[in-house]
Amino acid sequence: MKYLGIDSSRPRIAVFDLTGCQGCELQLANKEETLADFLNAVEVVQFREISSATTTSYDIAFIDGCVSRADEVERLQTIRERAAMVVALGSCACFGGVSRLKNDYDLDAAKREVYGTLKIDTEPVRAVDEVIHVDFKIPGCPVTKDEVERIVQHLVWDVPYHFPSYPVCLECKQRFTVCTFDTGQLCLGSITRAGCGAPCPAAGLGCWGCRGPAVEANIEEFRTMVKERDYADDEVAERLHFFGGFEEAQ
């Protein structure tokens, strides 16, 4: 049986890293209690964090990290030619992530200041879909392994999977977490796409929006709400800008 052009029996998966901390890949390798099942469902043919094997033949390519060098553009184009499906893994790959903050600075001046005359190949950060077509995006800094596993089940066995369209607030309330606004902390949970399980508010921190906007996020209502609570425009703008997912809302 084929689904989305891929043979449903144990697709060959390759994981590639571009610019980023590679924490999203680590999430895949980390969760020992489901790792055996994961490896039964797929054949991992290239994954630098767990194996030295390399190949030019794979069905699904997971891309971790954003694009910030010319050679990464070439790598991505080759990967796209070889893979039936490309999945952007994590916020760096989906919308640039924290690395996108680099675009706020004069790169040439920064290179001179930090590296002097040493030749450094670095360009403004782009998300993977600004360079090649992407079939699936899994946001998060890092990604949530449960969600990646459900998406792999969807790709391999056609198990229905729908990205949560609702915001983080819903998962936060399901955990009976005290709202961080009540403890004086700004939170983007009301406009951010759920799926992470709201770990940051549960730890007493406001959400920083690492998963990008929820479907139909009411940004205007959010702005009104934080204004009424006297949060400074600069603080709100910094929060919205941090992971690169809310650029269109700025």
The binding site for ligand SF4 (CB under 6 A) comprises: 20-24, 64-65, 90-92, 97-98, 141-142, 168-169, 172-173, 177, 179-181, 187, 189-190, 192, 196, 198-201, 207-211
CA distance 142 to 145: 9
Q: Quote the least distance from Cβ 28 to ligand SF4, whole Å.
A: 11
Distance in Å, CB of 107 to ligand SF4, minimum: 19
Taking CA 43 as the corner, what is the angle to CA 142 and CA 22, rounded to the nearest 5 degrees? 25
Distance of closest approach, residue 96 Cβ to ligand SF4, in angstroms: 9
Q: Is 50 buried (19+), middle (13-18) or exposed (0-12) by CB count in 10 A?
A: middle
- Residue 42 phi, psi dihedral angles, 5° rounding: -135, 160
Question: Closest residue to ligand SF4, Cβ-based?
Answer: 189
Nearer to ligand SF4, 141 or 152 (CB): 141
Nearer to ligand SF4, 13 or 217 (CB): 217
CB closer to ligand SF4, 112 vs 173: 173
Q: Which is nearer to ligand SF4, 155 or 207 (CB)?
A: 207
CA dihedral angle for residue 140, residue 71, residue 241, residue 200, rounded to 10 degrees: 20
| CB 57 to ligand SF4: min, Å | 25
Q: How, if at all, do strands 60-64 and 12-17 pair?
A: parallel
Please say which residue, 11 or 97, places its beta carbon nearer to ligand SF4: 97
Q: Find out whether 169 and 189 touch, Cβ atoms under 8 Å.
A: yes
Q: How far is the CB of 240 from ligand SF4 (least distance, A)?
A: 12
What amino acid occupies position 53?
A: A
